[in-house]
Amino acid sequence: MFDPKLYDKKHQERNTSVALTVFAVGRYLDAYLNTFLTSAEKHFMIGLPVTYYVFTDLPEKVPKIELAPQRDLKVVTVQRYSRWQDISMMRMKVISEMIDMEFEGKFNYVFCLDVDQEFKKIGSEALGESVALVHSYFFNLPKEKFTYDKNPKSKAYMETGDYYYHAALFGGSLQNVKALADFCHLSIMEDKLNEVEALWHDESHLNKYFWLNKPSRLLSPEYCWDNNLPDGRNILLARLVWAPKQYDKLRTRK
């Protein structure tokens, strides 16, 4: 195992600062945001300056959590799309715009996460120029099982790949995350023009991006583990865990 203190020391010397983006739109805010933020304050890049950017349609409902020194939280209002696929996909556009309008000059790295998860222990070892996460459902499966988009009409189409990446966490330098977000957003828009939608939405496009542009740092499924998986004995330390899915409650239309 690596020594996390060595990574922290390097980043403290370099004055590394990190932006963490998270979307909590509609019912996802009440269901997940408080656990996400309070666990991040305890277990995400402790010792480095971190600013949370919470994107929501319900800004007044963002929990007021107590922040440690050098930590900050900003709330950005976004529109709520009626289709959940669009809620998920529009994140790429918003992230790209934020990098240009807000992050440039303020941060060295940006990390983008799903809200339905809880931090256990993620340190500065996870930082890198271009960071991708191996999906915990596929790390021990053969490629034939990977759920890449298989429709040649979609921009996300890929015949084969190397890993199946999970879109619940990605990150890197501002420049690299901007390139990823632009690639995914433009591909999503082109698919819309062609009246197709990739199998797993933004995740399909992200997989295509990382197939064409290899990440510099690959995070193991420890970094986004689902405790319902049977092969947890191989996971020494679940560093981020999936919150229990509440699809019946959250995915039905009001």
Active centre residues (catalytic): 203
- Residue 88's binding partner out of Mn ion, ligand 5GW, none, with CB under 5 to 8 Å set by partner kind: ligand 5GW
Q: Which residue is nearest to Mn ion (CB)?
A: 114
Whose Cβ is closer to ligand 5GW: residue 24's or residue 132's? 24
Quote the tokens at residue 27.
Answer: 């019912």
Q: H helices of the chain, where? A: 4-13, 27-28, 34-43, 84-98, 174-193, 202-212, 247-250
Whose Cβ is closer to ligand 5GW: residue 2's or residue 247's? 247
- Residue 25's binding partner out of Mn ion, ligand 5GW, none, with CB under 5 to 8 Å set by partner kind: ligand 5GW
Footprint on this chain of ligand 5GW (rule: CB under 6 A): 23-26, 28, 84, 87-88, 114-116, 168, 250-251
Please report how close the Cβ of residue 28 comes to Mn ion at its closest, in angstroms: 9
Whole-number Å distance between alpha carbons of 180 and 102: 17
User: How would you list the strands of the sheet with 109-113, edge to edge?
Assistant: 71-77, 50-56, 18-23, 109-113, 169-173, 130-133, 217-219
Please report how close the Cβ of residue 119 comes to ligand 5GW at its closest, in angstroms: 14
Residue type, 19: A
Whose Cβ is closer to ligand 5GW: residue 103's or residue 200's? 200
- Residue 24's binding partner out of ligand 5GW, Mn ion, none, with CB under 5 to 8 Å set by partner kind: ligand 5GW
- The residue assigned the tokens 């529109």 is 79
The reply on whether position 202 binds Mn ion by CB under 5 A is no
Whole-number Å distance between alpha carbons of 73 and 71: 7
Whose Cβ is closer to ligand 5GW: residue 3's or residue 248's? 248
190-222 burial string, b = 16+ CB within 10 Å, else e? ebeeeebbbebbbbbbbbbbbbeeebeebbbbb
Collapsing DSSP states into helix, strand and coil, what is residue 13? helix
C-alpha count within 13 angstroms, C-beta hemisphere, residue 87 = 18
Please report how close the Cβ of residue 113 comes to Mn ion at its closest, in angstroms: 9
Whose Cβ is closer to ligand 5GW: residue 14's or residue 253's? 253
Collapsing DSSP states into helix, strand and coil, what is residue 74? strand
Total residues contacting Mn ion by CB under 5 A comes to: 3
Residue span 93-132 as binding mask against Mn ion, x where in contact by CB under 5 A, dash where not = ---------------------x-x----------------
- Residue 78's binding partner out of Mn ion, ligand 5GW, none, with CB under 5 to 8 Å set by partner kind: none
Residues that bind Mn ion (CB under 5 A): 114, 116, 168
